[in-house]
């Protein structure tokens, strides 16, 4: 699968009418089910908002243990999903995103334990002062309440979202990608049952997967019951949610990440960063899609870099200047403008040689979706310009694009990576799932 993005826009919108439609009866059933789930979640959210850090952290460990204990059942359900989707022609990159194994389940459980080790965001005083009139003013973090989430077929996200919601004192209603339906069914059951073991309500973690896209649409309309909706996925999903949701939305966005190798960059480090960004996990939004190379380093850098990419199975879509450096065993085809706009999510990479930093910045500003850009350089002026003249959610300096990830950046996990600017930008962790309340304490104060 690949995604075309318009210059500067996370693009390819498609109308809600494209969504699978189960007819009026399915819509009514979905409405009833989602409203009831949201009502239960609202009650559960009150219990979570008052839960102590100790209870929430204990719950996260219990959830982690429960997942590991249910590993065989989860992996069997996941194997059904993988088998079905492979038969349906899902690309290897997306199958990799869907697949679970014991190592991945251990990592997912580990992320829950990492969340337990982080400070509780709830109750944190963001600002505080005593005014000249004696009033004490504090702005304090509080949970959002009920968080709705519509997301891709990636079962680790089910657990990350549940863990983040729990630690930040929120209830969560999940609608995962249909390709992961069996995996998510088992995971949500295991998690919500485990909650009750520590005296927290099972309704704090609910799934509406059974109601498909009808359920997702009802979640968008549950204003007053759902406090915030996080859509995490492709352009069609984001466009539909932004257009149709009456619930407040925090958008995430598609990736189309760039790496610029500057004149004078350390070739060994740049090659390692390039390979990691492109090949470590190709189906994810922080994978590299376009390499830009300063012409002054092209002859030194490109032959080795392209042959390393070729050895890793990467197909190059390059401009003429790149073609001159392609050696034996490297699959190459001439790039068109479409390649600059494409999020391949596969072992494909667009490559362009540029005359200078200005051209690299211009290319990125033209084609980026605003997710992650990286530069390899030894020049502090280039760093300064790259980090201030681009307008993306994350900028990596001499580091892989793959670091745009909540776990990697110390947030424990992430509910999504925001590529818009309001409330949150970049990987969204615990603090991003809270809002604030102003607590003003007086002693009979009145306003004059
Ligand atoms: N910035 C970020 O945090 C992230 C960005 N992404 C981006 O997402 C893309 C890959 O995601 P992909 O696998 O394509 O996921 P999709 O966008 O296809 O699906 C994600 C979820 O949205 C649902 N959905 C999709 N379209 C609609 C619609 N029109 N109405 C209602 N629900 C809808 C899907 O349901 P169904 O299963 O029924 O199709 C699924 O539950 C990439 O472009 C990647 O960069 C992905 C994750 C994180
Ligand atoms: N958190 C991710 C990156 C963001 C993400 O979830 O991407 P995607 O696989 O497109 O859903 C990671 O690097 O593991």
What is residue 21's predicted lDDT score, i.e. its pLDDT? 58
189-210 core/surface letters (b: 16 or more CB in 10 A; e: else): bbbbebbeebebbbbbbbbbbe
List phi, psi (to 5°) of 131. Answer: -75, 160
Residue range 172-201: mean pLDDT, rounded: 97
Is residue 19 within 6 Å of ligand 1 at its C-beta?
A: yes
Q: How far is the CA of 61 from the centre of ligand 2 (A)?
A: 23
Extended beta strands in 116-170, E state: 125-130, 136-143, 146-151
pLDDT tens per residue, range 106-141: 999 999 999 999 999 999 999 999 999 999 999 999
Is the pLDDT assigned to residue 405 strictly greater than 70? Answer: yes
Is the CB–ligand 2 distance for residue 434 below 6 Å? no
Q: What is the pLDDT of residue 24?
A: 82
Distance from the Cα of residue 109 to its chain's centroid = 18
Q: Complex ipTM above 0.95?
A: no
| Cα separations in angstroms, 315 against 44, 298, 363 | 50, 18, 21
Q: Which atom of ligand 1 is nearest to the CA of 416?
A: 3
Mean pLDDT of the 374-402 span:
98
Average pLDDT over residues 82-97: 95
Give pLDDT tens digits for 232-274: 999 999 999 999 999 999 999 999 999 999 999 999 999 999 9
pLDDT at 8: 39
Quick one: tokens of 340? 């600059």
* pLDDT tens-place string over residues 12-58: 222 333 344 577 888 899 999 999 999 999 999 999 999 999 999 99
Does the C-beta of 343 come closer than 6 Å to ligand 1?
yes
User: Is any ligand 2 atom within 6 A of the Cβ of residue 415?
Assistant: no
**Which tokens go with 2?**
């690949």
Q: Which domains does the chain have, with CATH numbers?
A: 8-253+422-439 (3.40.605.10), 257-403 (3.40.309.10)
Q: Is the pLDDT of residue 10 over 90?
A: no
208 CA to centre of ligand 1 in angstroms: 16
> Across residues 203-228, what is the average pLDDT?
97
pLDDT of 6 over the 50 cut: no
pLDDT of 159: 98
Residue 5: is its pLDDT beyond 90?
Answer: no
What proportion of the chain, given as a percentage, has pLDDT over 70? 95
Q: Which of 349, 283, 331, 315 is nearest to 92 (CA)?
A: 283
For residue 2, the model assigns a pLDDT of 53
Residues 325, 321: Cα–Cα separation, whole Å: 8
Confirm or reject: Cβ of 432 under 6 Å from ligand 1. Answer: no
How far is the centre of ligand 1, averaged over its atoms, from the C-alpha of 409 (Å)?
A: 23
């Amino acid at each position: 699968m690949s995604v075309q993005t318009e210059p500067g826009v996370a693009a390819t919108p498609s109308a809600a009418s494209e969504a699978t439609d189960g007819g009026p009866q399915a819509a009514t059933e979905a409405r009833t089910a989602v409203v009831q789930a949201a009502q239960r979640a609202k009650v559960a959210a009150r219990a979570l908002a008052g839960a102590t850090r100790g209870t929430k952290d204990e719950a996260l460990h219990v959830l982690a243990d429960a997942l590991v204990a249910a590993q065989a059942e989860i992996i069997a359900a996941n194997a059904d999903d993988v088998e079905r989707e492979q038969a349906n022609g899902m690309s290897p990159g997306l199958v990799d995103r869907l697949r679970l194994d014991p190592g991945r389940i251990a990592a997912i459980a580990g992320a829950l334990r990492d969340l337990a080790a982080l400070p509780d965001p709830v109750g944190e005083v963001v600002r505080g002062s005593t005014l000249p009139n004696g009033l004490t003013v504090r702005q304090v973090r509080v949970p959002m309440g009920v968080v709705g989430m519509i997301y891709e077929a990636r079962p680790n996200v089910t657990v990350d979202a549940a863990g983040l919601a729990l630690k930040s004192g929120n209830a969560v209603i999940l609608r995962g990608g249909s390709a992961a339906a069996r995996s998510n069914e088992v995971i949500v059951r295991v998690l919500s049952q485990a909650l009750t073991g520590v005296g927290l309500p099972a309704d704090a973690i609910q799934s509406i997967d059974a109601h498909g896209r009808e359920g997702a649409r009802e979640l968008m309309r549950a204003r007053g019951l759902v406090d915030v909706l996080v859509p995490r996925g492709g352009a069609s999903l984001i466009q539909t949610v932004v257009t149709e949701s009456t619930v407040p939305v925090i958008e995430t966005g598609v990736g189309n990440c760039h790496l610029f190798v500057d004149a004078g960059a350390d070739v060994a480090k740049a090659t390692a960063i390039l390979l990691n960004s492109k090949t470590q996990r190709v189906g994810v939004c922080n994978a590299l899609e376009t390499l830009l190379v300063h012409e002054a380093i092209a002859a030194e850098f490109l032959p080795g870099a392209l042959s390393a990419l070729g050895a890793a199975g990467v197909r190059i879509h390059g401009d003429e200047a790149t073609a001159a450096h392609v050696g034996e065993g490297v699959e190459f085809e001439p790039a068109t403008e479409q390649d600059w706009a494409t999020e391949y999510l596969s072992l494909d990479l667009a490559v362009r040689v540029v005359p200078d930093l200005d051209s690299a910045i211009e290319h990125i500003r033209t084609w980026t979706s605003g997710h992650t850009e990286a530069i390899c350089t030894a020049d502090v002026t280039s760093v300064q310009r790259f980090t201030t003249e681009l307008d993306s959610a994350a900028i990596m300096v001499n580091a892989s694009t793959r670091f745009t990830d909540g776990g990697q950046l110390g947030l424990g996990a992430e509910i999504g990576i925001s590529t818009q600017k309001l409330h949150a930008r970049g990987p969204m962790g615990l603090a991003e799932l809270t809002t604030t309340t102003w607590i003003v304490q007086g002693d009979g104060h009145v306003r004059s």
